[in-house]
Amino acid sequence: MSPLERKYLMRLTAKQTVDGESDTLFMETTAAMTGTPARYELRYRDEGGDMHGTRNVLRVERGKSVTLFRDGEYATHLIVEQGVRHLSQYATPYGMLMLGVCGLSLVSDVSDAGGTLRFRYCTDVELTPVGEFDFEIKLTAAPTRGQTEESI
């Protein structure tokens, strides 16, 4: 993958389980990526719900970690590293939380053509379990000039 920015169509599926209740979010948007398959940065904006317009940056080190930076009302700096518990700041409209985040799994097969990033983690507040989160991000190279989405 070149160091130049590449555009992708992004399909995100995020499942959260809190207090035994599960909820799944689906979102499609455009994302920009720079880096290499082993270490890349993915930038996108949330398109709906309470976080509409929020800028997100995912820094991925294949096989090691995913770091999420989010701005706005839900500002976040969250580190997901398999088998490691990190303390992460998470803003809400009601104030800042300090969350424990323990990575459960991380798989990335992203290349210039696109691919999939999957990661799972659980959270706690002062070692009291809060929830489990499962993300799947599918990337498809966006059409370039002269192409249509169907021709990719």
Residue-level pLDDT at 116: 97
pTM for this predicted structure: 0.85
Closest CA to 51 of 73, 29, 18: 73
Q: Which residues contact 19 (CB under 8 A, 6 or more apart)?
A: 131
pLDDT reported for residue 2: 47
The burial of 37, by beta-carbon neighbours within 10 Å (0-12 exposed, 13-18 middle, 19 or more buried), is given as middle
Helix or strand run (H / E) with residue 70: strand 65-70
What are 58-109's pLDDT values in tens digits? 999 988 999 999 987 778 899 999 999 999 988 877 888 889 999 999 999 9
The domain at 6-142 falls in which architecture? Beta Barrel (2.40)
pLDDT (0 to 100) of residue 143: 74
Q: Give the CA distances from residue 82 to residues 61, 109, 114, in Å, rounded to whole numbers and listed in that order.
A: 12, 16, 23
| Mean pLDDT over the full length of the chain | 88
Q: Where are the domains of the chain?
A: 6-142
Alpha carbon 88 to its chain centroid, in Å, reads: 15
Tokens of 58: 């995912």
Please say if the pLDDT value at position 149 is more than 50. no
Q: Are 97 and 76 in contact (CB under 8 A)?
A: no
pLDDT for 8-49, tens place per residue?
999 999 999 999 999 999 999 999 999 988 999 999 998 766
Coil, helix or strand at residue 113: coil
Q: What is the pLDDT of residue 73?
A: 78
Distance CA 114, CA 95 (A): 37
